[in-house]
Amino acid sequence: MSSDRPESGAALLLIILLAVGCGVPGEAPAVPEPIQNLLFIMGDDHSTGVFGAYGNTLIRTPGLDRLAAQGARFERAYVNSPFCTPSRQSLITGKLPHATGVTLLPTPLGEDQTTIAEHLEGFGFRTGAVGKMHFNSRLRHGFEYRVDRGHYREWLETMDPPQLGETTLVRPSLKPFRNPTRIWLNAEVLPGSQIDERSEGTYFAEKAIEFLRTRSEKRFCLWLSFAEPHSPFNFPIEYSGKYNPADMTTPEVGPDDEARVPAVFRDLSEQDKKGIIASYYTSVEYLDKNVGLVLEELDRLGLSGKTLVIYVGDHGYLLGHHSRFEKHTMWEEEVRAPLLVRGPGIVPAVNQAMVEFVDLVPTILELLSIPSLPGVQGMSFAEVLRGQAKEHRQSLFAEYLPDNQAMLRTHRWKYIFTSGQHDLALGYATGTPPTGIEHRLYDMVADPREFTNLADRPELTETLRSLQGQLLDRFKHTDPRAGRLPSDLDISQALAWFCEPPEEPE
């Protein structure tokens, strides 16, 4: 190489500096600003199937789609229980439902369980929870600022009733299992009785904005939990007519689905089903509008560049899949849920890594540079978010103990165990005799719709045994009751033992 050309030395220096990430001479390297705050947003019963960023071209979700484009979107994020209360309390503690002691709908989260808010409060964070938290008690669990449905109802009583036109139709009050199913699932696609500015979701968005405006002088943790699109799929009067039931498509069902479909869904007509789906779509669009309001305020306040923003659905929802309109199952549309993450240092990407919602607490704490919360059972996937790893878990766990069910999901296989002791719970009875112990095995590559149970195939006996063993090991390593497991049980009996809710007397 010739050394009598000064520009060649400068060029070489520039190449070296760029190679080590130092930029050009005189410029500081691009280092992301440390993450200071957390804004955690949750939709209720929000399915990945009704979400623009996840490929649905009919739904309009511009606010959430923008968030997805700016951050990481997870294709394989799974809840640890397909059910509101257990999923939410597991997520907020970083422990599996059976470890929190919350596996049934009315169970309160105990004072002995430490939430991420209590942990962050100890490090000087301002903490707030707006909306539906399902604590099932008056405890705040570390949230100093708390706004819930009771506050909304009190506020609404101070307002004059809206002036509705004589021809304006609104849905009746929610009376699940008392009204006909088509009524409480809103097959008529009727709005609530409020205009947008007085509707619950908008109220919660405004209260979250109030928190950001008045409490963001210090590091903060704001948990914002909307009730949409939970049945009856609420939306205000202005959203009427946004989706035509005739444009909706009901999914194909499998050959074995009708045999175990809950009785409450059997009388729904095709028109009813399309109307229910249209109501759900409308509620999702209303949810998206309110998410967008909060994200816009975060931008306006100059907080977006130092705030970790996470959006999840507390679980998915079946919109006619397997002839059902509910959660409470291990079908893919229910246990797979939306997960979006945006913040400094997080690489915008579509991630295929398998993650569980129990992993969120340790991930959040690592990204906030806060010491881990003792006792968490999740694993941080911060390296995936930073682009330093592509994989996280090799298997995923979920449980639905009201029906004594548990699931283990790998890249290829899904195994579902149920002790089948009784007909389905919470008003979803089939009217048929209990099944007894049941094993289901699905090849999620060849049969993604989960139509063919392969558990009885002789050539898959070893696969089935391996998945059963992995599922049992997950219980043994995480359930506080594991030390009391009788030693004389076979693997099915042991799984049945663990699938009893811890809240029930033993």
Question: Which tens digits make up the pLDDT trace of 259-270?
Answer: 889 999 999 999
Q: Under 8 Å CB-to-CB from 454, ≥6 apart: which residues?
A: 441, 442, 443, 460
* pLDDT at residue 166, rounded to an integer: 65
Segment 52-65 shows an average pLDDT of: 98
Predicted confidence (pLDDT) at residue 22 exceeds the cutoff of 70: no
pLDDT in tens, 314-333: 999 999 999 999 999 999 99
pLDDT at 17 over 60: no
Residue with tokens 């000087």: 124
- Are 360 and 378 a contacting pair, CB within 8 Å? yes
Tell me the pairing of strands 438-443 and 413-418: antiparallel
In whole angstroms, what is the distance from residue 70 CA to residue 349 CA? Answer: 9
For the domain spanning 37-395, the CATH number is 3.40.720.10
Is residue 19 pLDDT above 80, yes or no?
Answer: no
Flag whether pLDDT at 5 surpasses 50: no
Q: What is the pLDDT of residue 175?
A: 87
CB 85 within 8 A of CB 399: no
440 membership: H or E segment, kind and range? strand 438-443
pLDDT by residue (tens digit) across 491-502? 999 999 999 999
In the prediction, which pLDDT does 23 show? 42
**Rounded-to-integer distance, Cα 493 and Cα 24, Å:** 66
For 134-183, give the DSSP string: ---SS--TT-SEEE-HHHHHHHHHTSPPP---TT---PPPP-TTTS-HHH
Instruction: Give domain limits for the chain.
Output: 37-395, 397-498
Please give the Cα distance from 143 to 272 (Å, whole number): 41
What CA–CA distance (Å, rounded) separates 2 from 211?
64
User: Over the stretch 69-89, which tens digit does the pLDDT of each residue have?
Assistant: 999 999 999 999 999 999 999
pLDDT tens digits, 348-367: 999 999 999 999 999 999 99
Instruction: Render the burial of 63-91: b for 16+ CB within 10 Å, e for the rest.
Output: bbbbbbebbbbbebbbbbbbbbbbbbbbb
Asked whether residue 9 carries a pLDDT value surpassing 60, the answer given is no
The residue count of the chain comes to 506
Residue of 190, 134, 447, 176 whose CA lies nearest to 325: 176
Bridge partner list, 398: 407
- Please give the backbone phi and psi of residue 347, each rounded to the nearest 5 degrees, phi first: -80, 120
Instruction: Tell whether the torsion through CA atoms of 81, 85, 87 and 89 is positive or negative.
Output: negative
- Which residues is 481 bridged to in the sheet? none
With 60 as the cut, is the pLDDT of residue 12 above it?
no
Q: Determine the 3-state secondary structure of 284 from DSSP.
A: helix
> Residue 167: is its pLDDT beyond 80?
no
Mean residue pLDDT across the chain: 92
Q: What's the pLDDT at 172? A: 86
Q: With CA atoms as reference, report the closest residue to 441 among 414, 409, 468.
A: 414
The answer to whether domain 37-395 and domain 397-498 are alike in fold is no
Residue 428 gets which letter from DSSP?
-
CA distance 305 to 342: 10
Question: According to CATH, what is the number of the domain 397-498?
Answer: 3.30.1120.10
pLDDT in tens, 90-118: 999 999 999 999 999 999 999 999 999 99
Please give the Cα distance from 171 to 176 (Å, whole number): 13
pLDDT of residue 190: 97
| Residue 250 pLDDT exceeds 50 | yes
Helix H or strand E encompassing 84: helix 84-93
pTM of the model: 0.92
d(CA 169, CA 240): 10
